């Protein structure tokens, strides 16, 4: 039996092996979008503000409660005043740091009247933290990094900056005096959150031609007034925290040292000159009376610590018939120390 095939013979094509596929699971697209949306929502939450009408209503309510608390303070009803000040804080939007610091300063004054030193310290620290956010006193690390970067700028970059400098001078601060925070804004805003105080005082402000001069000058005056108010409240908080720290019981080395640090800060001219004569006298007296107390507290705590270490050493050496009296620390001529053993325990024969 035979088979015949008709037509041309064709060769079947070879089957190509399948390409290996990456089995690594990929995160779903919705997870990345959710991650980005969550981070943006967190940022928007921290920068969120109430509508102007709602903010004005809350601020007015807080001011009314503060006035009631001030009356209670004048009537020497300090406990009730603290409660009313707390209600005023609850009505206040959380991002109004200056208004919050004023209330915390008043609460600290009430605690001082009641001799509640720890609570007074806590209130002062909350107020100072808010003012630090409003107008920082510590220089930013970015300023140092920016200085190093400026020193390493090439001549080509300098030439490029020189050609573009004339275009920027009409809308920015003078490049010789501008600060890190001011370089991003064409006009000084009424609220300065960042920057060094000393540098800002010497800043030259150039007003653009298309800006209303009267409104800009008013904004600058408002900024100076705000800066003065912040400095005044910060001075009060430092004074009250220093007094509270110096009265904390027990009068430990750390508490007294912290109080001395506050009064040392208040000794600076920018703070001291803003104080009334009675408070200036308080600062002078504290700077005289606190250093001996700090030294005495330090010596006492060091002696107590060494005594505890000695008791611990005696407890360890007792099973061996030894004590810390058998070991003497002797200082050598080169300034080093050597440990010597005395079998007699320091007793004379």
- Model pLDDT for residues 299-325, shown as the tens digit of each residue: 888 888 888 888 888 888 888 888 878
Query: How large is the average pLDDT for residues 158-176?
Result: 43
Q: What percent of the chain has pLDDT over 90?
A: 42
Whether residue 206 is predicted with pLDDT greater than 90 in this model: the reply is no
Whether residue 281 is predicted with pLDDT greater than 60 in this model: the reply is yes
Query: How large is the average pLDDT for residues 256-284?
Result: 96
Q: What is the reported pLDDT for 85?
A: 97
Q: In which residue are the tokens 């008013």 written?
A: 218
Q: What is the reported pLDDT for 323?
A: 81
Contact 71, 82 (CB under 8 A): no
Q: What is the reported pLDDT for 339?
A: 75
Contact 131, 233 (CB under 8 A): yes
Query: How large is the average pLDDT for residues 171-184?
Result: 35
Contacts from 187-192 at CB under 8 Å and sequence distance 24+? Answer: 187/211, 187/216, 187/219, 188/219, 188/220, 188/223, 189/219, 189/223, 190/219, 190/220, 190/222, 190/223, 190/226, 191/223, 191/226, 192/135, 192/223, 192/226, 192/227
| Integer Cα distance of 181 and 165 in angstroms | 19
Element (DSSP H or E) covering residue 172 = none
pLDDT in tens, 89-128: 999 999 999 999 999 999 999 999 999 999 999 999 999 9
Q: Does pTM top 0.85 for this prediction?
A: no
Q: How confident is the model at residue 170 (pLDDT cuts 50, 70, 90)?
A: very low
Domains and CATH numbers, the chain: 52-134 (1.25.40.10), 250-332 (no CATH)
- Name the more confident of 322 and 24: 322
pLDDT in tens, 51-99: 999 999 999 999 999 999 999 999 999 999 999 999 999 999 999 999 9
Query: How large is the average pLDDT for residues 154-159?
Result: 51
- The per-residue pLDDT of the chain, averaged, comes to 75
Q: What is the reported pLDDT for 282?
A: 96
């Amino acid at each position: 039996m035979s088979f015949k095939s008709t037509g041309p013979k064709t060769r079947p094509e070879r089957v190509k092996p399948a390409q290996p596929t990456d089995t690594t699971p990929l995160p779903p697209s919705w997870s990345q979008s959710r991650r980005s949306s969550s981070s943006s929502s967190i940022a928007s939450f921290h920068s969120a503000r109430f509508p102007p009408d709602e903010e004005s209503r809350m601020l007015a309510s807080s001011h009314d409660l503060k006035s009631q608390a001030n009356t209670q303070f004048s009537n020497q009803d300090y406990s009730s005043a603290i409660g009313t000040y707390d209600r005023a804080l609850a009505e206040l939007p959380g991002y109004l740091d200056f208004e919050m610091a004023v209330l915390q300063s008043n609460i600290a004054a009430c605690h001082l009247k009641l001799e509640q030193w720890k609570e007074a310290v806590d209130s002062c620290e909350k107020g100072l933290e808010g003012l630090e956010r409003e107008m920082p006193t510590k220089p930013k690390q970015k300023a140092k990094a920016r200085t190093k970067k400026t020193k390493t700028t090439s001549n080509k970059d300098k030439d490029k900056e020189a050609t573009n400098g004339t275009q920027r001078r009409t809308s920015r601060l003078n490049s010789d005096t501008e600060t890190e925070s001011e370089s991003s804004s064409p006009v000084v805003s009424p609220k300065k959150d960042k920057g060094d105080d000393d540098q800002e005082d010497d800043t030259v402000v150039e007003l653009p031609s298309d800006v209303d001069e009267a409104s800009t000058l008013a904004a600058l005056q408002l900024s100076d007034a705000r800066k003065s108010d912040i400095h005044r409240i910060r001075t009060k908080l430092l004074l009250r925290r220093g007094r509270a720290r110096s009265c904390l019981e027990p009068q430990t080395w750390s508490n007294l040292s912290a109080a001395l640090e506050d009064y040392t800060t208040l000794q600076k001219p920018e703070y001291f000159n803003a104080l009334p004569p009675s408070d200036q006298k308080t600062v002078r007296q504290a700077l005289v009376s606190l250093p001996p107390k700090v030294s005495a507290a330090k010596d006492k705590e060091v002696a107590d610590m060494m005594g505890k270490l000695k008791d611990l050493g005696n407890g360890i050496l007792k099973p061996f018939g030894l004590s810390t009296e058998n070991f003497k620390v002797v200082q050598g001529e080169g300034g080093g120390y050597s440990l010597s053993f005395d079998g007699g325990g320091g007793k004379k024969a």
